[in-house]
Structure 1
């Protein structure tokens, strides 16, 4: 049976009803965009080396790893470490602390950059706007060690600025650094102060793409600034907010290690222990490598499920998703 060979509209060769792109065309595209591919290489290598290659290490979660016997010769124990983790009396305490901190982040920290971006967008004098933006970006570049040190200096009961102020006006001091009920609010306040300004960059970029003619039409219809924000600005950046919220769901069980570890002490540990610090304590200080890997894998699996679930839910309600 003869085969029909025709030319296709994209410059390739159609053989038997299927388009075959010539190798020459691929090479021409590569030569044309070679600098873009070269520019992409560092990021691609970073993810390959530090994200994908280390994934083979998750097999530790299913082994009883012993350094002297090596990775391949260690005993295979299956789901034993997961079973021990879920049966551990500390599991529900860790889960509660982690989820409460994540809930605080979603309720208080996540909307903060949006509100701040909306306020900055209303400033019409460019000099003031740039100055304020610079000032609120600076904390992002301060080390968390410095942030923790500032918190200790301001909140300590021995000469701290905040407690000295409270003592003068109420006659008593509050041990913010040691009382468990103050730990989570303190972490959220630190996070908002340090990251809120930098988080506005994405939302300010989204606001820059809003059609100015919509505001002009709203003014003609008699809408004030509040109605313009509610009916024009927020709907215009809704897709950006939803995408960032979906990505945020992947970090529900990830509260960050450094900040929590620096602010934890013997008196507030009951409220401060989360999965991140637990992995460090079990894996590094106690040498339970397989057990801590199982805990980390549990966090990752839950994060993937939450991202996929929130993305599906977003599309179910007719909104855009991450794919």
Structure 2
């Protein structure tokens, strides 16, 4: 029982001390403080090979979000390097504290300038900035040229010329392989996408764009024109209506049209018959006829679209018909129920 009382007493005492410590910490910060920055540097005068610790302590209200712009160096930045950065954050009552420690090395003698950090924030809908001060560091040479101080970091071993050539060639070969693989993947994706996306109406219309009846007429290539035009149109009909029209003769297509209903079948048959006369009997058509047949094929393709969209429309129409049938059945049941009652 005594032990338990001692433990409780110790816990209460620790809690009291912790509360007291937090209150003391808060008292060190002025109540009107919104954001505060302090800096500390290990040394302003060093020997080449040494490094310094540059510490920035930022204390801000918890609800304040600020942007911290890092330190930078003067024109001798290539002879300066931030070796390590440590970040530490903690809460102090209503404030939050952030400590940033930079370990900086210098690789030449003389005076170096560390440009200040910048803290930007908004408070009461006002944009404000808090800037640090420039830090001047003096880097001295060794006091005794014969005695060197102990090394602070490992020294790099210079590699032979052949080693770097091998590394460079390996990197080039590896990059070439990666680029080739990416190119192949992109090419395959493109081909697959083209096959998946391009539908028969788009394909036919794109092919028709490559035919100019005026050029064929001026060059007296009448047969070639109708070979191209009828091939594109028959291939479209094959894919759109799922009949092998592409490999049929005009008479076979006529027999198919007698059995199956096709829009504007009379014009199609007449156009195919006339095109046969041009292709095989070397009949010379008028330019107006060539234009009329071209426009007919184009308009027919646009009007009838592709099989995919047609099936979707048909499916929607079926659903609408089914809904109507269900409604009619319900109405009949309701009427029969009313009559029975």
Higher helix share: 1
Tell me which structure has the larger Cα radius of gyration: 2
**TM-score, normalization by structure 2:** 0.21
**TM-score, normalization by structure 1:** 0.21
